[in-house]
Structure 1
Amino acid sequence: MEKIKGLYLKYRHAVPLAIYMVIYLTWFAWLEGRNRRDYTVIHVGMDDYIPFCEAFVVPYLLWFAYVSLVVVFLFFKNKQEYYRCCTFLFTGMTVFLIISTLWPNGHHLRLDEMPRDNVFTQAISVLWKVDTPTNLWPSIHVYNSMGAHFAVMRCSALREKKGIRIASGVLALSIILSTVFIKQHSVFDVATALGLGTVMYILVYRRDLVLAAWAQRRMKKRVSM
């Protein structure tokens, strides 16, 4: 019993993650099961100029391992950095759920017929069967890739691991590009996710900038009085 208690005290920071994932997956499953015909279509002109590149399904699918590995690594390596990463990820994911609930959205970018038959197009066909073209804005693939890379770049244990940091950046960028090249997202989904990720980076990882701006604003008010 003492051993179990010790393990719980050592790893109890897994509880918030487990609770949130149950809430997120349940909420997302409900969204996916709603009426798939009554939604706002997301489309911008740039979407029509982006070619279909099936090979990008590889980084798109690697996203699941990438984000999970970063979270698990921080879970065991540094509790404070783990909490920061989770704060970043959970905030964006919750914003996504709220938007999808209040403003159902989707796109009509998927191809009616695959231009080629190979292992990549076959993988995309399977993906499209299990993942509906709805509940897309902002792109969680884009947002969480940013969050995972930011966590890697800010991780004290990886500060001297240049190869890992570069690989993380390349993978994150590849995942972001994959969302439009395999027609999973509109450029609008990507752009808004990049904007949200930038704001959250400042709030989560650069609070010093926020506090400095706030202090400067208060100082200007006092001087004007």
Structure 2
Amino acid sequence: MNFFKSAKQLIKKYKHGIILSYFFIYMAWFTYLERTVTTVFTPVHSKLDDYIPFNELFIIPYCLWFIYIFVTIAYFFLTSKTDYYKCCAYLFIGMTICLFIYTVWPNGHYLRVNLDELGRSNIFIDALSKIYSLDTATNVFPSIHVFNSIGAMIAINKSERLHSIKWLQWFTFVLTVMICLSTVYLKQHSVMDILGALILNIIMYVVVYVPAWGKEAKQLKQELSKAS
């Protein structure tokens, strides 16, 4: 009896986790696009891409992205519903916009290097080879990798619990920059994909966080008015 009571309380406490079911929709949609958008697409390219050298060491921050996003969402899920809802709204709506763009405007690139012709072999190249085989060079603009990284950084920065932790703010900033750089140094994305993600971040920031700013500013103005 106590078990069912505890389970019921736990479900009630964490019922906000239901919105994480979005990942099933996302993965189904993204997988469909990966299987259908293969050869017929608009190439995304910038002249700057040609000057960026390939460096397999960037596989480290590139893969840290998965942990970064998971830990960010999990932390807010367990500690703050307000931050959790804002973070999820920011990321999920943005990711959906990306998928919509991929659907109506199939895009990709021809930037990847031939790993077999590099003349060297190491654990980083082996890991990247695996990623190349699983992730096609399509559905790249805007970059979801870049969009989510910046979104997570903003969510951490806007959190009342975390905003004052300076080392964390600097750490997430550096990690985000390294992840963004990794996408072009591994030839997973074009500079244009990063630009597209930056523009989408600006839009989502205005949608998710600016209204809250306006409300807080109005409340602060009313409190100052009463005090005077």
The alignment's TM-score, normalised by the length of structure 2, stands at: 0.88
Structure 2 equivalent of residue 223 of structure 1: none
Other structure's SS at 1:157 match? coil
Q: CA deviation at 1:35?
A: 4.5
Equivalent pair of 1:139/1:190 in contact (CA under 8 Å): yes
Letter in 2 for 1:10: K
Shift of residue 209 of structure 1?
A: 6.5
Q: How does 1:1-225 map to 2 (within 5 A)?
A: 1-18=4-21, 20-112=22-114, 113-207=117-211
Question: Contact 1:139 / 1:189 at 8 angstroms: preserved in 2?
Answer: yes
CA distance in 1, matches of 2:91, 2:13: 23
What is the Cα-based RMSD across aligned positions, in Å?
1.4
Contact 1:203 1:210 in 2 (8 A): no
Per the TM alignment, residue 114 of structure 1 is displaced from its structure 2 partner at its CA by 2.8
Q: Match of 1:118, as an amino acid?
A: N
Change (3 A) 1:191 1:210: farther
Kept after mapping to 1: 8 A contact 2:37/2:106: no
Q: 1:153-196 deviations in whole A, cap 9, x for unaligned?
A: 11111123211111111101100011101000011100010111
How many Å separate the matches in 1 of 2:34 and 2:212?
A: 39
Residue ranges of structure 1 left out of the alignment (5+ in a row): 212-225
Deviation track 1:124-180 (CA, whole Å, cap 9, x = no partner) reads 111101111011110001000011100111111112321111111110110001110
Percent of aligned pairs sharing the same letter: 44
Counterpart CA distance in 1 for 2:19 and 2:212 is 26
Instruction: Name the counterpart of 2:224.
Output: none
CA distance in 1, matches of 2:113, 2:146: 21
Q: Which runs of 5+ in 2 are unaligned?
A: 216-228
Q: Distance in 2 between matches of 1:195 and 1:3?
A: 45
Aligned-partner Cα distance in 2 for 1:164–1:209: 22
Deviations, residues 37-57 of structure 1 (Å, cap 9, x unaligned): 111111111111111111111
Q: How many pairs align?
A: 210
Is the deviation greater in 83-92 or in 197-206? 197-206
